[in-house]
Amino acid sequence: MAMQKKEGFFQKAFGFLFFSNDPEVIKRKNLKKIGKEITRQRFKWYKPSSGEALPQMAKFFYEVYSTIGGAQNILSNANASAVLKTIVIEDFFSENQKKIKENLSEERLKERAQKENTNQLEIQVKKELDAFQRELNPEKIKQIDHLYSQLEAFSNFVLFDYYFMLKKFDSNIPERNFSYTPHYDTIRGEYVLDDLKDFAVVAFALPLSADWKQIFSIIKNYKGVEPAAINRWGKITRTLNEIRKSNILTLIIRHIDKNPGEQIKPTTVNSRIVDAYISKLRTQTETFLRQIIQNTRVSKSSELINQLFGSAPTSRMENYTDSRSEIFKRRNFAGFTHVDEINYLSCFLAAYLKKDITTITDLCLVRGKWAVQEESISFSNSFHALTDISEKLVEFDESLSEDSPLGSKLKSLMMRQEHDREARSQLNTNLKDVNNSALAMLTSATQNLIVIGKNLKAILGDYEAQPHKLIINWKEIESAADSNVKEMLITTYKKIYAFVMLMQLYLKGGA
């Protein structure tokens, strides 16, 4: 038993002499091991015994700097550049996507709006945007985002401050003047410790196996010049690969920092640029289209109004007006939403229904003998419907006067709405009902004018045809007419067509 105790004592004594759990002892031992490993490396950048950074280190950094230093200016704002993101994305476009994108430009949309009905154009543009987005499938999006992430990592590498670091080895070195021959001093390792750490972060994140020809081509499209000579850059990437495999940079940082376990965490570059591009394209296209449609509508509306009335007609309505509407709008109500078109309808019916349309209707329906009488029914019904609408317009406007029950109610609700939620709700409902009534008259009048217009077109065709198949007594009609029947038919048809086109601008939002 005593013998065993003696052996245990001697074992502990020898263990204490040759091994220690003291962290400082372990740290020194590991640093010594790291120093030996650095010495065995082919990269003679650092002298562990003295803690000095050697000229060979500066020579490597100058080689990198002289290769890509010229790209620092052209890539200074690259990571924030929307243009560069667009170039990367468009590099993956199919021919069909290029064609769609061109058709969605503001200039092309303006041209298309002049030739196409804008309602149809809106539908077509939506289909084109959907087709464009479908081609950007998940796999293609992944490829685009991956390429841009590689480009961003390259940009980070290029923008490392090589000049600041190299000045520590040669205080006379000029910035981006690569005709100068540097003369490097041996310096204390700690002077460049932070620089080495910063460099390691961007160097270890660099995708060395990337398609550098594609990346350089994109940068050239972006700024007009390549960032570096591709052969020299190839040499740099091979050296960086050897540095990465040898772990020399991490070893030197650990030794200078006296931290054997130090780890370098490279910057993770994992950009997502496609979703934002698609969203912007949709928003931009829709904004362009809305503005173009509005401008086209105003232009065509002005043209049609001049055609119909010679100039913008004065208001024939006394109550359903902009000035009355503004009273409601100032309190954030919708107001009267069909003021312009209701006034146009009132002016049109006053100018043409009782004169041109009535005259041609009398000739064709009253004096005209139809081969098949039933074929005249739609014409007759639509004419009488228009006459009714003309009367209803007057009644509608008078119902909104402050002396009428509805007008008085709107005024009362308006006075109460600020302090009475129920009054506000009722006012909204009543205004909606008023506007719906206006819309119903506009829609009905337009539909009936379309019917009359189609009948006039058919009648005109019959007038010019031989033999006549629709109306069989044209001679009698001509003798009863005050002017040329054909000219009357054409003039009335054109006026109706112009007014229907005007209404469609407002009722359908098209042009």
In a domain, 9, yes or no: no
201: Cα within 13 Å, side-chain hemisphere: 14
The percent of residues in the chain predicted with pLDDT above 70, rounded, is 95
Question: Containing domain of residue 55, as a range?
Answer: 22-76+159-267
What's the rounded Cα separation, in Å, for the pair 149 and 68? Answer: 19
Residues 250 and 279 in one domain: no
pLDDT score at 205: 94
Residues 199 and 345 in one domain: no
Give phi and psi for 53, each to the nearest 5. -90, 130
pLDDT score at 183: 95
- Mean pLDDT of all residues in 341-352: 94
What's the rounded Cα separation, in Å, for the pair 252 and 53? Answer: 9
pLDDT tens, position by position, 446-476: 999 999 999 999 999 999 998 989 999 999 9
Residues 348 and 448 in one domain: yes
pLDDT at 3 over 50: no
pLDDT score at 50: 95
Residues 436 and 333 in one domain: yes
What's the rounded Cα separation, in Å, for the pair 461 and 448? Answer: 20
Point out which residues pair with 53 in neighbouring strands: 46, 187
Domain boundary among 238, 267, 296: 267
Residues 209 and 122 in one domain: no
Domain boundary among 288, 309, 330: 309
In a domain, 6, yes or no: no
Residues 381 and 475 in one domain: yes
pLDDT score at 267: 78
Residues 321 and 172 in one domain: no
The percent of residues in the chain predicted with pLDDT above 90, rounded, is 78
In a domain, 1, yes or no: no
Domain boundary among 253, 287, 309: 309
Residues 205 and 262 in one domain: yes
pLDDT-derived band at 276, boundaries 50, 70, 90: very high
pLDDT score at 119: 80
Residues 295 and 379 in one domain: no
pLDDT at 230 over 60: yes
pLDDT tens, position by position, 154-192: 999 999 999 999 999 999 999 988 999 999 999 999 999
Residue type at 134 in one-letter notation: R
pLDDT at 505 over 90: no
In a domain, 206, yes or no: yes
pLDDT score at 115: 84
Q: Is 92 helix (H, G, I), strand (E, B) or coil?
A: coil
pLDDT at 480 over 60: yes
pLDDT tens, position by position, 76-113: 988 889 999 999 999 999 999 999 999 999 999 999 98
What is the tally of structural domains in the chain? 3
pLDDT at 399 over 60: yes
Comparison of pLDDT for 63 and 270, the residue scoring more: 63
pLDDT score at 268: 80
In a domain, 430, yes or no: yes
- Mean pLDDT of all residues in 244-268: 92
Residues 32 and 177 in one domain: yes
pLDDT at 220 over 90: yes
- Mean pLDDT of all residues in 368-372: 90
Average pLDDT, the chain: 91
pLDDT score at 71: 94
pLDDT at 127 over 90: yes
DSSP string over 149-217: HHHHHHHHHHTS-HHHHHTTT-TTPPTT-TTS---PPPEEGGGGHHHHHHHHHHHHHS-TTS-HHHHHH
pLDDT score at 310: 87
In a domain, 7, yes or no: no
pLDDT score at 38: 94
Residues 386 and 482 in one domain: yes
Instruction: Write out the two tokens for 495.
Output: 């006026």
Residues 392 and 420 in one domain: yes
Long-range pairs for 218-226: beta carbons < 8 A, 24 or more residues apart: 218/84, 218/87, 218/88, 218/91, 218/147, 218/151, 219/71, 219/74, 219/75, 219/78, 219/151, 221/87, 221/91, 222/74, 222/78, 222/81, 222/83, 222/84, 222/87, 223/74, 225/74
pLDDT tens, position by position, 376-395: 999 999 999 999 999 999 99
In a domain, 485, yes or no: yes
pLDDT score at 147: 95
pLDDT score at 1: 47
In a domain, 366, yes or no: yes
- Mean pLDDT of all residues in 479-500: 93
